Amino acid sequence: MPVRIIWHPSSLDHDPGPGHPESPDRLKAILEELRGPAYSQIVNWSEAAPAEARLLERVHPPAYLERLEAMCRRGGGMMDGDTFLSAGSHLAAIHAAGAAVEAARTAFEGQPALAVIRPPGHHATGDTAMGFCLINNVVVAARFALEDLAAERVLIVDWDVHHGNGTQALVERDPRIRFVSLHQSPLYPGTGREDERGVGNIFNVPRPPGLPPETYVADLNAAVGRATDGWQPNLILISAGFDAMAGDPLAGFTLEPDAYATWVREWKKMKVPIGAVLEGGYVPERIRLAAGETVRALAD
């Protein structure tokens, strides 16, 4: 079955500034890869609508969302030491969340989906932008699936090399959502210990840098197995950061692009719909390959 690629041109207008690792070049590389002839028979494309306010406000207080919009109207500004807004960032953020919502809907209805978006989201808490993230796209999508699509259980798997602290904070009291995160430790943001369990729905896999790639692959698969033992999700949402690959400038994991396909193919054995949402990854010529491997596995 073809994979639905969901994006919006506004993602290219979010500009954190010269030299910032979360640059539009990341997205351009993935789009160029997936628009190539090798994928013409296994993808189809759609542009996202902006996420409705009611969906965003399930995750973020209106005052926070209004502050983001107001700062962008003034031309942008600094949210923290590494998270910046430009004039186009608000439009990009609400369309990124809308793409995540559409990925959840598309997957739930039977077609695998990948939201190719920026800014990323998994560090954003309810009222705080951080770690390049403004709106927590994957949590907006998960709440949408639970409230609007009548999903009863959503599994979020975060394979970004950084712990999705915002995602954990937003879901750790909701037993309808289980959150599994493989991440480098110690590393920004310093959260994600194994003993952080929420209401029994948090499954953190902190690991040091430099391990063999097959160790990371096996450890995340084992954690997904624990999270789904006796608990069958109706939908799997992947926080698909590609910064756990060897050579990423912000971390020290050792994965190659085929690791992402291995994970997807393993989780497809559960016969559960899968949607993925782009998070980090800062070497454009590498992340394009990982995104391609992910799409091929989703299409199998």
**Distance of alpha carbon 289 from alpha carbon 229, whole angstroms:** 32
- Considering the candidates 14, 123, 163, 183, report the single residue annotated as catalytic: 123
DSSP 227-294: HHTT---SEEEEEE--TTBTT-TT----B-THHHHHHHHHHHTT---EEEEE-----HHHHHHHHHHH
Neighbours of 106 (CB within 10 A): 20
- Exposure letters 75-93 (e unless 16+ CB within 10 A, then b): ebeebeeebbbbebbbbbb
CA atoms lying within 13 Å on the CB side of residue 271 = 0
123 is catalytic: yes
Question: Residue 276: CB partners within 8 Å, gap ≥ 6?
Answer: 103, 113, 114, 115, 237, 238, 240, 294, 298
Instruction: Return the structure tokens found at 207.
Output: 């690991």
**Distance of alpha carbon 38 from alpha carbon 35, whole angstroms:** 8
Q: What are the catalytic residues? A: 123
